């Protein structure tokens, strides 16, 4: 069965958060600026809302120029800390939809992510589209923000599809539509091709994707080397086997699972937590690592997602500590809400390799 990959990208992310935080901005052109040490005159546009885009403002444009283009726009300084916090909450919402208990999930930037839903959707694109709609509904309801989703058989196609209908869209590219989707595109639009490659390709008379797909792979290898040459040929042909894989996964070990039914009975929740702890801890032992952070995730029946972490003052690899901290956090989360719980997760992070020294666990 071919894969079904979703790429989710938030719409005008920083500016959308600013709009949400200050209702008086509604209807105005909003520009978020990254000011340099030369003060307000020296900065560049980080992003702007679609009203500002209609006036010709775009990311990376000097703020001075943006002001000249649209003097009545509202200019705001970036608030990175706020955007990161919102991003983390959104990522947890989206992660709850990824296959393998949230493992087939790959954050690509502060406002975008890949997730695989082949198993959850049963390989059915209509179901995948419903999943995309649920993600959009959750993000809208819980964070009051919109996003756009691309659905395709691999990461490259999903990534390029998500920008097709922005803002607030869902674009599905079926396997038999991939060729038509790519064929007439300028090569620079192919995700993974930058300025340097674009110019080299232009020098070879290659301007659109079908030109690239039609070239002999050996010719591409002779110019770009084996790895890159092969990649160019494959990507232009719509082929991409790259797995959805969290880049930071080597620094985290986690598991998520659904309760047999939505509940907030602590014995049921803790017994599932025990199963997850067993699993996570056996992976910790197998990898011979210690951890410093412990994170519990709870997804309520209304899809609200809460995560809470605890950082230890030094790395350890003791199951008793993991269990104690996890129970404490879960107890707090159970006390702080009256809503039933749908799914829970536990994750350890900030991993350190156990070099030489034995962990307590090995003596038992
Ligand atoms: N960003 C930035 N500088 C850039 C590009 C982006 O600081 N040159 C920041 C601000 C954006 C965020 O990263 O809000 C996400 O980048 P996107 O490319 O996804 O752009 P937006 O989300 O703002 O808009 P779109 O609706 O086109 O996705
Ligand atoms: Mg975006
Ligand atoms: Mg983005």
Ligand number nearest CA of 112 is: 3
Q: Which atom of ligand 1 is nearest to the CA of 15?
A: 14
Nearest to 113 by CA among 121, 102, 123: 102
pLDDT bin (cut points 50, 70, 90) of residue 196 is confident
Q: What integer pLDDT is reported at residue 356 of this predicted model?
A: 60
pLDDT bin (cut points 50, 70, 90) of residue 363 is very low
Output DSSP code: residue 106.
E
80 C-alpha to center of ligand 2: Å?
15
Closest residue by Cα to atom 24, ligand 1, is: 12
In 3-state terms the chain splits into helix, strand, coil percentages (rounded to 5) of 45, 25, 30
Instruction: Summarize pLDDT for 55-78 with one digit per residue, the tens.
Output: 999 999 999 999 999 999 999 999
Distance CA 344, CA 277 (A): 11
Pocket test for ligand 1, best of 11, 33, 47, 166 (most atoms within 8 A of CB): 47
Closest residue by Cα to atom 20, ligand 1, is: 12
Cβ 75 vs Cβ 31: under 8 Å: yes
Closest residue by Cα to atom 21, ligand 1, is: 12
Known binding-site residue numbers for Mg(2+)? 9, 111
pLDDT bin (cut points 50, 70, 90) of residue 245 is confident
Q: What is the DSSP string of 27-59?
A: TS-EEEEEEETTEEEEEEEEEE-HHHHHTT--T
Nearest to 296 by CA among 364, 337, 356, 348: 348
Distance CA 250, CA 92 (A): 18
**Residues surrounding ion ligand 3 at CB below 5 Å:** 9, 111-112
pLDDT bin (cut points 50, 70, 90) of residue 38 is low
pTM comes to 0.77
Cβ 75 vs Cβ 49: under 8 Å: no
pLDDT bin (cut points 50, 70, 90) of residue 357 is low
Q: Which residues contact 323 (CB under 8 A, 6 or more apart)?
A: 274, 277
264 C-alpha to center of ligand 1: Å?
39
pLDDT bin (cut points 50, 70, 90) of residue 246 is confident
Q: What integer pLDDT is reported at residue 162 of this predicted model?
A: 98
pLDDT bin (cut points 50, 70, 90) of residue 364 is very low
CA 80 to centroid of chain Cα atoms:
17
Instruction: Summarize pLDDT for 176-192 with one digit per residue, the tens.
Output: 999 999 999 999 999 99
Alpha helices in 32-190 (DSSP H): 50-54, 63-69, 80-95, 99-102, 125-143, 155-162, 178-183
Q: Which atom of ligand 1 is nearest to the CA of 111?
A: 15
Q: What integer pLDDT is reported at residue 39 of this predicted model?
A: 67
Q: What integer pLDDT is reported at residue 352 of this predicted model?
A: 87
Pocket test for ligand 1, best of 16, 45, 59 (most atoms within 8 A of CB): 59
Question: What residues flank ligand 1, with Cβ below 6 Å?
Answer: 9-14, 46-47, 59-60, 110-112, 166-167
Is 88 one of the catalytic residues? no
Cβ 330 vs Cβ 352: under 8 Å: no
Instruction: Summarize pLDDT for 91-111 with one digit per residue, the tens.
Output: 989 998 999 878 899 999 999
Taking residues 336-353, what's their average pLDDT?
Answer: 91
pLDDT bin (cut points 50, 70, 90) of residue 315 is confident
Pocket test for ligand 1, best of 111, 160, 163 (most atoms within 8 A of CB): 111
Taking residues 332-344, what's their average pLDDT?
Answer: 92
Q: Which residues contact 3 (CB under 8 A, 6 or more apart)?
A: 116, 118, 153, 154
Taking residues 241-265, what's their average pLDDT?
Answer: 87
Instruction: Kindly state the tokens that stand for 108.
Output: 């690509």
Distance CA 102, CA 115 (A): 8
Place of tokens 């032992």: 285
Q: What is the largest CA-CA distance in the chain?
A: 71
Q: 148 vs 37, which has greater pLDDT?
A: 148
Strand partners, 151: 6, 172
Taking residues 261-274, what's their average pLDDT?
Answer: 96
Q: What is the DSSP string of 225-272?
A: -HHHHHHHHHHHTT--------GGGGGEEEEEEEEEEEE--HHHHHHH
Q: Which atom of ligand 1 is nearest to the CA of 45?
A: 3
26 C-alpha to center of ligand 2: Å?
19
Distance CA 85, CA 145 (A): 14
* Average pLDDT in the chain: 92
Closest residue by Cα to atom 12, ligand 1, is: 13
150 C-alpha to center of ligand 3: Å?
12
Of 106, 112, 116, 246, which is the active-site residue?
A: 112
Residue 280 has pLDDT above 90, yes or no: yes
Cβ 110 vs Cβ 46: under 8 Å: no
Strand partners, 9: 112, 148
Distance CA 147, CA 163 (A): 10
Give the three-class secondary structure for 78.
coil
CA atoms within 13 A on the CB side of 225: 3
Ligand number nearest CA of 50 is: 1
Ligand number nearest CA of 107 is: 3
218 C-alpha to center of ligand 2: Å?
37
């Amino acid at each position: 069965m071919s894969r079904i990959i979703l790429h989710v990208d938030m719409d005008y992310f920083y500016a959308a958060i600013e709009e949400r935080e200050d209702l008086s901005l509604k209807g105005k052109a909003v520009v978020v600026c990254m000011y340099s040490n030369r003060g307000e005159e020296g900065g560049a546009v980080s992003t702007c809302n679609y009203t500002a885009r209609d006036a010709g403002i775009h990311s990376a444009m000097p703020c001075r120029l943006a002001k000249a283009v649209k003097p009545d726009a509202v200019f705001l300084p970036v608030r990175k800390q706020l955007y990161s916090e919102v991003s983390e909450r959104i990522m947890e919402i989206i992660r709850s939809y990824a296959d393998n208990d949230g493992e087939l999930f790959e954050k690509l930037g502060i406002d975008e992510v890949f997730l695989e839903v082949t198993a959850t959707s049963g390989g059915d694109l209509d179901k995948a589209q419903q999943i995309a709609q649920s993600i959009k509904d959750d993000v809208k309801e819980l964070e009051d923000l919109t996003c756009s989703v691309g659905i395709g058989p691999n990461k490259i196609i999903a990534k390029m599809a998500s920008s097709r209908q922005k803002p607030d869209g869902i674009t599905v590219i079926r396997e038999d539509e991939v060729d038509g989707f790519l064929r007439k595109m300028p090569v620079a639009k192919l995700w993974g091709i930058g300025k340097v490659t674009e110019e080299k390709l232009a020098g070879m008379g290659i301007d659109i994707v079908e030109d690239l797909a039609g070239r002999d792979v050996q010719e591409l290898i002779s110019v770009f080397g084996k790895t890159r040459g092969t990649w160019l040929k494959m990507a232009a042909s719509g082929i991409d086997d790259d797995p959805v894989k969290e880049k930071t996964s080597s620094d985290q070990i986690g598991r998520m699972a659904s309760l047999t039914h939505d509940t907030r009975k602590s014995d049921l929740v803790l017994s599932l937590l025990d199963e997850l702890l067993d699993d996570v801890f056996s992976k910790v032992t197998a990898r011979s690592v210690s951890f410093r952070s412990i994170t519990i995730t709870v997804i309520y029946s209304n899809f609200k997602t809460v995560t809470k972490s605890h950082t230890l003052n030094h790395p350890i690899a003791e199951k008793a500590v993991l269990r104690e901290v996890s129970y404490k956090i879960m107890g707090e989360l159970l006390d702080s809400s009256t809503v039933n719980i749908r799914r829970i997760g536990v994750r350890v992070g900030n991993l350190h390799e156990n070099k030489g020294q034995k962990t307590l666990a090995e003596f038992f």
